[in-house]
Amino acid sequence: MQGFGKKILMKITTLIGRYSLYIMASEERSKVCRYCGITAPLGHWRPYTWTEKHEANCPKNPTCEAPDN
């Protein structure tokens, strides 16, 4: 009976892995800001995250609530 439970667990794990890969592939990620065109600093260890945070606070973002400098 142990082998049967292990097969089920492997099947569930495989399905979850495929689902998470599908979610990651469906999101479009870029290293260039869609509002002003700036790119993440060269050599930055997480350029996609840097760009996403910048886009949230970009002065040219119409939904940004950060004050203009």
The full set of domain ranges for the chain reads 1-28, 31-64
User: For residue 23, with 0-12 CB atoms within 10 Å meaning exposed, 13-18 middle and 19 or more buried, which class applies?
Assistant: exposed
Residue 64 in this model has a pLDDT that exceeds 50: yes
pTM over cut 0.75: no
Spatial CA neighbour of 40 closest among 28, 31, 30, 52: 31
| Tens-place pLDDT, residues 39-51 | 999 999 999 999 9
Give the pLDDT of residue 21: 46
